Amino acid sequence: MSAQSSAAPAGTPMFVAGIAVRWRDLDAFNHVNNSTYLTYLEEARLQWMQATGDTMDTAATPVLAASELNYRRPIAWPAQLQVQLLCERIGNSSITIAHRIVDASDPQTLYCDGRVVMVWIAPATGKPVPLPPSVRQAAQHAVPLAGAAG
């Protein structure tokens, strides 16, 4: 298998997670604190991995290798969000997941976009290992985004 794979229409999310903004997510300026966006993205990725059947066992576990967030507008409370995850690149032991945080009732309202790189490693050695088959299969149902840097 090549280091990069693809399959579904470009820009189609491979997973969408619903997230409710909590009062405790707000900062002193009465909008969601910038660090909480990372928590929303983490929750969406965990929901996606559970949906793929990835068990994160002792042989292979994902770690976050890089993250990029572009804050487009503040999120106020109350709000219902959608975190859209899109496959940008599939490697041998890593996957680049693009993300969009949008308003659940108006997906044209973009709060944040960007990408993360996740690498699967052997916890005992810290060395990269191949992506679990369930993760690779789920990601291959999404086309790498057009114009994405690899």
**pLDDT tens per residue, range 7-60:** 333 478 999 999 999 999 999 999 999 999 999 999 999 999 888 887 677 788
- % of the chain residues with pLDDT over 90: 71
**Would you identify the CATH topology of the domain 15-139?**
Thiol Ester Dehydrase; Chain A (3.10.129)
R_g of the chain computed on alpha carbons: 16
- Quickly state the pLDDT bin for 142 (edges 50, 70, 90): low
How far apart CA 16 and CA 121 sit, in angstroms, is: 25
Give the mean model confidence (pLDDT) for residues 88-109: 95
- Contact residues for 33 (Cβ-Cβ < 8 A; gap 6+): 25, 26, 27
How many CB atoms are located within 10 Å of the residue 101 CB?
25
Q: Phi first, then psi: what are they for 39, rounded to 5°? A: -65, -40
> What pLDDT was estimated at residue 55?
66
Give the mean model confidence (pLDDT) for residues 82-109: 96
Where exactly are the structural domains of the chain? 15-139
> What pLDDT was estimated at residue 53?
81
Element (H, E) at 36: helix 34-52
Q: Which amino acid appears at position 21 of this protein?
A: V
110-121: strand order across its sheet: 15-20, 80-90, 94-103, 110-121, 61-71
CB 120 within 8 A of CB 56: no
pLDDT at 6 over 60: no
How far apart CA 78 and CA 104 sit, in angstroms, is: 12
Question: Across the chain, which distance is largest between two alpha carbons, in Å?
Answer: 50
> What pLDDT was estimated at residue 54?
73
Peptide bond into 78 cis (omega under 30): yes
pLDDT at 147 over 60: no
